[in-house]
Amino acid sequence: MTAGNVRFEAWTRRAFGYGLALLVFAIDRGVKALLLGPVALDHRDAIAVLPIFALRFTQNFGVSLGLFTATSAEMRLILIGVTTAIALGVAAWLMVERRRADVVGLALVLGGALGNIYDRVVHGFVIDYADFHIGAWRPFLIFNLADAAITFGVLILLARSLLSSEKPGNSPAKTPTENS
């Protein structure tokens, strides 16, 4: 493989990753705009879609699982700063990642993070709306598409790291005759 081919493949991989991240961000923004605009979910109690799924407007002032709730403007800025730093780290990792599955996982995390950062900057909170439930029991907190993308992205990265045969020390050792 020539150096030109390697550079083209790296550029294609990066473009795909950043493109997927932007697609996730755009879909997240579109869904939220639809739910807050024409559907007016923020002015309703809930919209039952299926017996186990409803659309329910929720303002999330925290991060994952409602942790680290921002109760002041200063705390909100700290959350924006920390999540932006994490997103920049993911974007940098995406720039150098070679494995396709990891590129997909990183792109999902980045796109979801950008969607939630946008909400926090513009609204002061993250807009959550997806409510899975069985009767009154809710196995998940109310979440959004960006949260789902982040979750799936992290699961892909974890699965790749746990199941990868590319770990150091897993390559067969060369015998002395092979080294000569």
- Structurally, the chain folds into a number of domains equal to 1
| 173 within a domain of the structure (yes/no) | no
pLDDT band at 180 (very low <50, low <70, confident <90, very high): very low
pLDDT of residue 174 exceeding 50: no
The residue annotated as part of the active site, out of 28, 102, 128, 131, is: 128
Is 147 catalytic? The answer is yes
pLDDT digits (tens, 9 = 90+) for 47-106: 999 999 999 999 999 876 566 778 788 989 999 999 999 999 999 999 999 899 999 999
Residue 158 lies in a domain: yes
Does residue 101 form part of some domain?
A: yes
Q: Which of 28, 119, 131, 147 is catalytic?
A: 147
In a domain, 103, yes or no: yes
Check residue 64 and give its pLDDT. Answer: 66
Query: What's the whole-number average pLDDT of the chain?
Result: 87
Q: pLDDT digit string (tens) for 12-32?
A: 889 999 999 999 999 999 999
Residue 26 lies in a domain: no
What are the CB-based long-range contacts (under 8 Å, 24+) for 150-154? 150/108, 150/109, 150/112, 150/113, 150/116, 152/105, 152/108, 153/104, 153/105, 153/106, 153/107, 153/108, 153/109, 153/110, 153/112, 154/105, 154/109
Residue 39 lies in a domain: no
Tell me whether residue 128 is one of the annotated catalytic residues: yes
Give the range of the structural domain holding residue 92, as residue numbers without chain letter: 53-163
**How does pLDDT run across 114-160, given as a tens digit for each residue?**
999 999 999 999 999 999 999 888 888 899 999 999 999 999 999 98
